[in-house]
Structure 1
């Protein structure tokens, strides 16, 4: 296995660990309440936790600081808006965990976050290696 392939696998692995902690273990009540409004400080902080975690991941693989800052700023913006879209849709449709559409929204939200990591790894491969 080449260093690049091994590093790509490591990046995806670390992004998954970061995502699990940021999305499920590190959310506070402030981050979880009032998410249907667009500018929500809790959502901004939640996206910041994701960005900080990604910064750690990218530092581990030796990403140049300027590129790292650009990538995590984009991730913050994208994560913030993906979460807003899910919250807005879920509130508008009055979705509850006992409804299939609730889980469709959660699944699509998680899919979009995973595609963000694919794009970040692609950018890292294209501009860093």
Structure 2
């Protein structure tokens, strides 16, 4: 039971961190930089996600190497997901009032949350 509570605690941390990083901590230059490998916005955004994950992993009692590998993996995966979403949006622009927009947004969020499932599997 204690392990289940620890995993729920880590998941709660990851969900709250995700909300803050995706919806509160994205100024315009970050948003504009996604989808372009030459701009820092996407990298900064992925770094905020990775940095926000680190305290939750530390509190889970993981060693420094595991924390580092998981944070780096999250950075790379998060950047790739956002880059692909931005590239798709550039090729297939959709207004916020369309099903296509919300399907792409939902797929993006699902992939991010499945990343957290992977993190939980490693922590177990």
TM-score calculated relative to the size of structure 2? 0.95
Report the Cα offset of residue 63 of structure 1. 1.4
In angstroms, what is the RMSD of aligned CA positions? 1.0
- Aligned residue in 1 for 2:7: 8
| Count of residue correspondences | 124
- Aligned residue in 2 for 1:21: 20
TM-score calculated relative to the size of structure 1? 0.92
Describe the SS at the equivalent of 2:26.
Answer: coil
Report the Cα offset of residue 39 of structure 1. 4.1
| Structure 1 residue ranges without an equivalent (≥5) | none
- Distance in 2 of aligned mates of 1:36 and 1:69: 25
- Distance in 2 of aligned mates of 1:35 and 1:11: 27
| Structure 2 residue ranges without an equivalent (≥5) | none
- Show CA shifts across 1:28-60 (max 9, x none): 111101423234310000000000000011112
- Aligned residue in 2 for 1:53: 52
1:67 maps onto 2:59 in alignment: no
